[in-house]
Amino acid sequence: MKNLVLIGPPGSGKGTQSNILVEKKGYAHVSTGDLLRAEVSKGTELGQRIKSVMDLGELVSDDLVVELLKANIDLSSKQYIFDGFPRNVKQAEVLDQEILNGTAYVAVLLDVDIEKLINRIVNRRVSSDGKHIYNLVSNPPRKTGTCDVTGTHLIQREDDKEEVVRNRMDVYLREVGPMIEFYKNKNLLVTIDAEKEIDGVTEQIMNCIN
Ligand code: AP5
């Protein structure tokens, strides 16, 4: 089983698919968004600075994200899903050369029309630790407002307000082109139709990882 690099715009299903593949295939999952939110929740001065960037929908500095990522993975014993990293070609180079460094991997691009994603994200609710993801329309919890797994109250992420979401989409569109070229040149890119239902997307990803 190859390491899996999940690329896609905000709301394309990276977190949802990661959770499913952790269950089905035993992957370890690392999300730079989750790592950054954990740093914010510590309330440190660094956390405050990270929050001010995330609240605008901009990218946190490459150096900081790379440092956080390296401190939170152990490739010697696990296969990873990289969710939300890389976000630009510089991060893609670091992942390829300094982190994966010859270990087999595939980059999967979750392709979804951007306008459809705004609607998905506005209807997203997550558990307070961000690990369990729901959608009021396509994937609702069994009991309104409550996480099926933890039983705690569901929340809406602060950066899921429409105007911030639109900026996150612009940032994605600005950075994604060169990154896709990078993976195409290495013959490592698989693009899948992520507008299908959740199970249909999982099936397509499973076909790329062996
Ligand atoms: P991050 O947390 O990574 O957010 P993101 O990339 O914008 O992605 P999302 O978490 O919004 O969406 P997702 O693709 O995981 O979709 P989900 O599965 O939840 O990053 C947040 C911020 O942190 C960034 O803006 C940046 O500031 C910073 N950051 C993070 N990484 C960084 C990096 N490497 N460098 C610099 N800065 C970084 O699904 C969305 C919704 O759709 C859910 O409600 C779900 O139930 C539903 N859904 C999922 N799949 C389907 C489907 N097939 N059909 C219908 N509904 C579906």
Give the confidence band of 115 by pLDDT, cuts at 50, 70, 90: confident
Nearest CA to ligand 1 atom 23: 33
Fold annotation for 3-112+162-209: Rossmann fold (3.40.50)
Backbone angles phi, psi at 107, to 5 degrees: -105, 120
Summarize pLDDT for 143-197 with one digit per residue, the tens: 999 999 999 999 999 899 888 999 999 999 999 999 999 999 999 999 999 999 9
Residue 37 CB less than 6 A away from ligand 1: no
**For residue 90, what pLDDT is reported?**
97
Helices (H) and strands (E) in the chain, counts: 8, 7
Between the CA of residue 125 and those of 43, 91, 106, 190, 202, what are the distances in Å? Answer: 23, 28, 29, 29, 20
Give the pLDDT score at 106: 97
Residue 152: per-residue pLDDT: 94
pTM summary value: 0.95
End-to-end CA distance of the chain: 5
| Residue 29 DSSP SS3 | strand
Query: How much is the mean pLDDT over the chain?
Result: 95
128 pLDDT above the threshold of 90: no
Q: Which of 112, 133, 174 to mutate to test the pocket of ligand 1 (most atoms within 8 A of CB)?
A: 133
Rounded Cα distance, 28 and 42, in Å:
23
Distance separating alpha carbons of residues 120 and 124, to the nearest angstrom: 6
pLDDT recorded at residue 45 = 93
Give pLDDT, residue 193: 97
State the pLDDT confidence band at 108, using cuts at 50, 70 and 90. very high
pLDDT at 132 > cutoff 90:
yes
pLDDT score of 129 more than 90: no
Closest ligand 1 atom to the C-alpha of 32?
A: 31
pLDDT tens track for 50-90: 999 999 999 999 999 999 999 999 998 899 999 999 999 99
Ligand 1 in reach of 183 Cβ (< 6 A): no
The vertex-194 CA angle with 188 and 197, nearest 5°, equals 140
pLDDT at 158: 87
**Binding site membership of 19 for ligand 1 (Cβ less than 6 Å):** no
Q: Ligand 1 in contact with 9 (CB < 6 A)?
A: no
Ranges of each domain in the chain: 3-112+162-209
Residue 49 annotated in active site:
no
> For position 85, what pLDDT does the model report?
98
